[in-house]
Amino acid sequence: MQVHESTTVAAHADLRVDGARLWDSLMQLARIGATDKGGVCRLALTDLDREARELFIAWAKAIGCSVRIDAIGNIFARRAGLRDDLPPVMTGSHIDTQPTGGKFDGNYGVLAGLEVLRTLADANVQTLAPLEVAVWTNEEGSRFVPVMMGSGVFAGAFSLEHALAQRDREGVSVRDALAAIGYAGESGKPHDVGAYFEAHIEQGPVLEAHDKTIGVVQGALGQRWYDVTVHGMEAHAGPTPMALRRDALLVAADLIHAVNRIALDYAPHGRGTVGWLDVHPNSRNVIPGRVTLTVDLRAADDTTLTAMDRALHAACSAAGEQSGIAVEVEQVVYFPPQPFAAELVAAVKQGADMLGFSSMDVISGAGHDAVYLARVAPAAMIFVPCKDGISHNEIEDARADHLEAGCNVLLQAMLDAAQKVGSANA
């Protein structure tokens, strides 16, 4: 492989992406499904999704990429490597949005990947390993569940058949929706991935709070989600003395506090949230007879997450025993904590340092396609700040210089990995 030594990353440390082009592409893509409030509504596998996919594919083909679609509609735009038999260094994210989503969530990861390829094309740089930009189907889960569907199928988290059989609220299946927009691609075993990077807005307030440009993501929190039901006794607020009540909302209030306390007990990465709560019959002068609520616990390692799970069950039992009211707990989702690959995380940190960007180690509290990819390939993520930590909202915003910085880190990290994948397979 002596002939290709001139293409190593060291030779391209001075390469820089075109931040203005990246921003322009983000704004152009954001027009597809643009909302009045400045956000984007582009649900998975709709005509708007198709339109956005076609724009991406046109851009990728314009710089000489080959494009492949798999059976769940994931798009892979590939820039050939000098050793095109090597597993690709991949980056990507998603271009479906929440119903009242923003311009950057997902879209940034896809277009940062495209900008890396454009930059290499402009500079006529060839990499040892091929590079790919993936557009993962239905990451958001707003129209079809499960969330992170395309990357989940790719990583074997669930089967293609399971995903294709899911239906939206109108009863349309994923299978039919894919066919309708012309994105039911070739089936077959997913290809090997040499390394996977994903650039993403943080969707949280940590980088902004610490005034850092680059978040070096160490991994993703594990998650346990629960449905909790408190069975009290509905009764009139007036004629029922306090001592004779079985108030389900009062027990629910205990549990809300318990969930918060459990998270604080497992600082700094422990998180506990009651995000959804339903009161029955929800009438001003009726003592609540039944309350259902959700609990979302997250932790950086499984030992902690298991301890938090035990603490939640203990809190529910204690609240039930004290009040004489039955409390049911059912776990409905479990995502194990997912550490990222040390060598890729190091490459991200090294890229940030080399480029002179301030950075800090962070952990992803949310799920991303990279979390599934990490099950089948070395993976890592690059976070950039978003305004006020707000995402999944039409007012989601991010600074052009931050987006450009993250893209430059991605470029360096991918070049580094493409060389290393090449060397490892030399």
Min separation Cβ 261 and its own copies, Å: 10
Residue 208 known to bind ligand: no
Q: Is 268 in the site for its own copies (CB under 8 A)?
A: yes
Q: Alpha-carbon torsion 338, 341, 342, 345, what sign?
A: negative
d(CA 111, CA 94): 10
Encoded one letter per residue, x for contact with its own copies by CB under 8 A and - for no contact, window 37-56 reads: --------------------
Please identify which residue in the block is written with the tokens 């993403």: 200
And the tokens for 102?
């923003």
* 334 touches its own copies by CB under 8 A: no
CA distances from 125 to 6, 18, 89, 157, 421 (A): 10, 15, 15, 35, 17
Residue 403 · residue 202 · CB < 8 Å: no
Q: Helix crossing, 400-424 with 19-30: angle to 10°?
A: 110
Q: Does 365 bind its own copies (CB under 8 A)?
A: yes
Q: Please list every residue from 231 through 260 that binds its own copies, using CB under 8 A.
A: 234-242, 244, 247, 249-250, 252-254, 256-257, 260
- Residue 260 beta carbon to its own copies: minimum distance, rounded to whole angstroms: 6
Q: Do residues 57 and 75 lie in contact, with contact meaning Cβ atoms separated by under 8 Å? A: yes
Q: Which is nearer to its own copies, 25 or 138 (CB)?
A: 138
276 contacts its own copies (rule: CB under 8 A) = yes
Beta bridge partners of 335: 223
> By C-beta, is 73 or 204 nearer to its own copies?
204
Nearer to its own copies, 132 or 254 (CB): 254
231 is in an annotated binding site: no
According to the annotation, is 200 in a ligand binding site? Answer: yes
Say how many residues make up the chain: 426
Residue 422 Cβ vs its own copies, minimum distance, rounded to whole Å: 35
- One DSSP character per residue, 123-191 reads HT---SS-EEEEE-S-SS-SSSSSSSHHHHHHTTSS-HHHHHH-B-TT--BHHHHHHHHT---B-SPPP
**Can you tell me which of 211, 285, 324, 356 binds its own copies, judged by CB under 8 A?**
285
Interface size with its own copies, residues (CB under 8 A)? 61
Per rule CB under 8 A, is residue 367 in the interface with its own copies?
A: yes
Which residue, 141 or 190, has its beta carbon nearer to its own copies?
Answer: 141
Under the binding rule (CB under 8 A), the answer on residue 338 touching its own copies is no
Q: With contact defined as beta carbons under 8 Å apart, do 228 and 293 qualify? A: yes
| Residue 88 C-alpha from the chain's centroid | 21
53 vs 212, beta carbon nearer its own copies: 212
CB of 39 to its own copies, least distance (A): 14
- Of residues 395-414, which lie at the interface with its own copies (CB under 8 A)? none
Residue from 286, 307, 326, 346 binding its own copies (CB under 8 A): 286
For residue 133, the cross-strand partners are: 77, 91
Part of the chain binding its own copies (CB under 8 A), chosen from 33-41, 55-63, 175-183, 217-225: 217-225
392 in a known ligand binding site? yes
**x-or-dash pattern for its own copies, window 345-364, by CB under 8 A?**
-------------------x
Distance CA 296, CA 290 (A): 20
Interface positions with its own copies (CB under 8 A): 202-206, 209, 221, 223, 225, 234-242, 244, 247, 249-250, 252-254, 256-257, 260, 263-264, 267-268, 270-279, 282-288, 294, 296, 298, 364-367, 389-393
| Residue numbers belonging to the annotated binding site for Zn(2+) | 94, 105, 140, 200, 392
